[in-house]
Amino acid sequence: MTDSMLSISRRGVLVSSAASVAVAKTGPAWSQDKAQGSGSIPSKPVSMTVNGTQHRLDLDTRTTLLDTLREHLKLTGTKKGCDHGQCGACTVIVNGERINSCLSLAVQHDGDEVTTIEGLGSPDDLHPMQTAFVEHDGYQCGYCTPGQICSSVAMLEEIKRGVPSHVTDDLDARMRPTGAEIRERMSGNICRCGAYSNIVAAISQVSEA
């Protein structure tokens, strides 16, 4: 191979490489610009009653119920923990059922009634479950506490309605909030400080009352 042929070969490689880089940089940007110009972010009006107050919102259809509560309604008592439905810090009560609000889209709850920790009680008028958590020191850092309390309130209602759990022995007998039932039903709410025994004690006190 002559020097001239080697030189052309190198020049060709450099030119083709530069062209490839230019295409790689401009291609996605062009596609993104085209996609942005073809339409706006989808939104939908949503109406829901939160803690007794009706709210009408125009939301991005991808907005979770958790972000709606925290970012749009400024109800920051509901916490964002794992954002994957694994820790229970975002638990709220919807139409009487406890759910992980990070896994639920706000548009799914048009017309629903939502209760957050702010709707259960206030510093001057605590819910019995909140009082029990204070008395039994059912929290340490407090981050998971709102979800723990919302979950425990709805959980006791499940037992009253006769909803069985994995550890329910007799489906025909009256269900009772035993320690095993409470631990099984609250297993989706993680306390990283490890205050589980105190949480069970608080729930047991309310259930007995």
Does position 47 have pLDDT exceeding 70, yes or no?
yes
Does position 67 have pLDDT exceeding 50, yes or no?
yes
What is the chain's mean pLDDT, rounded? 87
Count of CB atoms situated within 10 Å of the CB of 99: 21
pLDDT score at 95: 98
pLDDT score at 192: 95
The pLDDT of 181-189, averaged and rounded, is: 97
pLDDT score at 41: 77
Does position 27 have pLDDT exceeding 50, yes or no?
no
The pLDDT of 12-37, averaged and rounded, is: 47
* Interval 96-117: pLDDT, tens: 999 999 999 999 999 999 999 9
Express as a percent the part of the chain with pLDDT over 90.
76
Strand order in the sheet with 97-100: 53-60, 43-50, 113-115, 91-94, 97-100
- pTM of the full structure: 0.79
pLDDT band, residue 9 (cuts 50/70/90): low
pLDDT band, residue 10 (cuts 50/70/90): low
Express as a percent the part of the chain with pLDDT over 70.
81
pLDDT band, residue 13 (cuts 50/70/90): low
In this structure, of 15-24, 28-37, 70-79, 111-120, the range with the lowest mean pLDDT score is: 28-37
